[in-house]
Amino acid sequence: MKIITGGAGFIGSAICWRLNTLGVSDIIIVDESREGSKETNLSNLKFTEYIDKDEFIKQIREKSFNHKADTLYHMGACSSTTEGNMEYLKENNVEYSKSLAKWCMDNYVRYIYASSGATYGAGELGFDDNIAMMPKLKPINKYGLSKQLFDMWVLDNKLDKEIVGLKYFNVFGPNENHKGDMRSMINKTYGQILKTGKLQLFKSLKPEYKDGEQKRDFVYVKDAVDMTIFFDKTLGKGSAQNGIFNVGSGKASTWVELAGAIFSALGKEPNIEFIDMPDSIKNQYQYFTQANISKIRNAGYDSKIMELKDSVRDYVLNYLVPDKYLVP
């Protein structure tokens, strides 16, 4: 049996979808309310049970959870990069994760959890998932700090020898409609283009980056879940397939390039308007991210990662235009 926390969310529901395509349906989904688009994320997926996230952690901590599982994908967290309540983030993203890690160790369950590329902050130290560098990282928002705190707890307790943490970069794709302001730019601007014929991007506040030339590592959710499921194996302590890994494309693309891919998919000429960046994100805006993915490659992941233009086209034409979700 597989357990997916955050299983009704973006990456969690995509993991369920991929497992279904592989013939796996003995899955427990753990999440909060199923209302709205989260319910739609699950409407075509196969799983055996749905458990509220608060009830789930209560059973875990009280040792009353009586299901046997071989893998726990812990994707559940507050993923808002603008969340300001650190106590909430500590409980939801750190303490919750610790309880699950301890339960997995006690019950011989494979533990695969979501960290974040946000832990790298502004990228002054690069984006290398070498554990020697991780204590030096300085996230620039509280969300990134909460993920860093749990990564450091894993390292301090030497659990990186037994479990897997995944630093997801800018993931986009189907099943993200419920994320509100945290949706990808592709999802946000698709409707904007249809309505106004143009797409808005933030102006740059740094002279070394022209407007729209800020760069991010954009990775399609289908690639992200394939990289995630790659680690779903029974392994001995100290295996090269245990540890903390980057999950990204390994390439940095500009926002202008991403916008061009969206317009191209829609058969339209690019029409970009640059707007002022909101004050609320000016001090926590990443101008460049690029995952070093040599570690996951060296661990044996050898599948080809989709080119940005191809993944954007698949997302736009096969999901956004027909208004569809992932279907096994």
DSSP code of residue 288: B
Q: Which residues participate in catalysis according to the annotation?
A: 143, 179
pLDDT in tens, 184-205: 999 999 999 999 999 999 999 9
pLDDT in tens, 64-86: 999 999 999 999 998 888 898 99
Q: Give the pairing type, strands 2-5 and 272-275.
A: unpaired
Calculate mean pLDDT across residues 203-218. Answer: 97
Task: Give the separation between CA 101 and CA 92, rounded to whole angstroms.
Answer: 14
Contact yes or no for 176/185 (Cβ under 8 A) = no
In this predicted structure, the answer to whether residue 217 has a pLDDT above a threshold of 70 is: yes
Note the pLDDT of residue 233: 81
Task: Give the separation between CA 95 and CA 178, rounded to whole angstroms.
Answer: 25
If residue 117 lies in a helix (H) or strand (E), which one and from where to where? Answer: none
Domain 2-172+218-249+292-306 classification at class level: alpha beta
Ranges of each domain in the chain: 2-172+218-249+292-306
pLDDT in tens, 125-183: 999 999 999 999 999 999 999 999 999 999 999 999 999 999 999 999 999 999 988 99
In this predicted structure, the answer to whether residue 109 has a pLDDT above a threshold of 70 is: yes
Note the pLDDT of residue 71: 97
Instruction: State pTM to two decimals.
Output: 0.96
